[in-house]
Amino acid sequence: MTPELKERFDNLVQQNKILVFMKGNKLMPQCGFSNNVVQILNTLGVPFETVDVLADSEIRQGIKEYSNWPTIPQVYINGQFVGGSDILIEMYQSGELQQMVEVALAS
Amino acid sequence: MISPQQVEEMIKVAMPDAQVQVQDLTGGGDHYQVVVVSSQFEGKGRVQQHQLVYGSLNQAMSSEAIHALALKTYTPQAWQAASQVV
């Protein structure tokens, strides 16, 4: 990965408290897994930003390497990689996600 | 396209002690749901646990032979606890 691309990712995940790399956007997710994550965050009623990986092939390939994670969606909270759709669902069901999001938004 | 047996074998190469359940969600051999129970998950967070499994399937995932993988990982203790609830 080029240093420029890495810096782009660093900036994105640091400048947004809750950031989702996904296929499509909040209004029109283009994949069921991305849709799961959007629905969970909507249910929590928290502000979050999204990056559409389908709109940028450099980001689409690069984010997999950046996170060492082969699938989309990918969720970052407070600059930290939290996981994909399966992990978000588990964390939502256990209540961990609500806690993590509250801490992130309060910081 | 990859068979459920191949998915299980690839995971077991990386994690010989793993118990693996593979479910082909669409019958197309590219959308899988996988449950993995292994002592190698002990002391690791969810992200690291999933990274271990993804790592074992790296080639199939990056070539997109596997298009989608729903993943659940358990340590043997966590699996026992989860099965008792069910």
Strand-pairing partners, residue A81, are A76
B68/A86 CB distance under 8 A = no
User: Domain range spanning residue A52?
Assistant: 3-106
Question: What does DSSP assign to residue A49?
Answer: E
Residues A61-106 have pLDDT tens digits of 999 999 999 999 999 999 999 999 999 999 999 999 999 999 999 9
CA distance B27 to chain A (A): 17
Q: Which CATH number fits domain B4-77: 3.30.300.90, 3.30.390.30, 3.30.300.30, 3.40.50.1580?
A: 3.30.300.90
Residues B23-79 have pLDDT tens digits of 999 888 889 999 999 999 999 999 999 999 999 998 898 888 898 899 999 999 999
Q: Phi, psi at residue B53, to the nearest 5°?
A: -70, -45
Q: What is the pLDDT of residue A15?
A: 97
Q: What is the mean pLDDT of chain A?
A: 96
CATH number of the domain encompassing residue A79? 3.40.30.10
Number of domains in chain A: 1
Asked if the ipTM is above 0.90, the reply is: no
Pick from A91, A94, A97, A63: nearest CA to A78? A97
B54/A70 CB distance under 8 A = yes
A87/B47 CB distance under 8 A = yes
Question: Do residues A20 and A37 make contact, with C-beta atoms less than 8 angstroms apart?
Answer: yes
Measure CB to CB from residue A83 to each of B47, B61, B70 and give the nearest one.
Answer: B47
CA distance B17 to chain A (A): 23
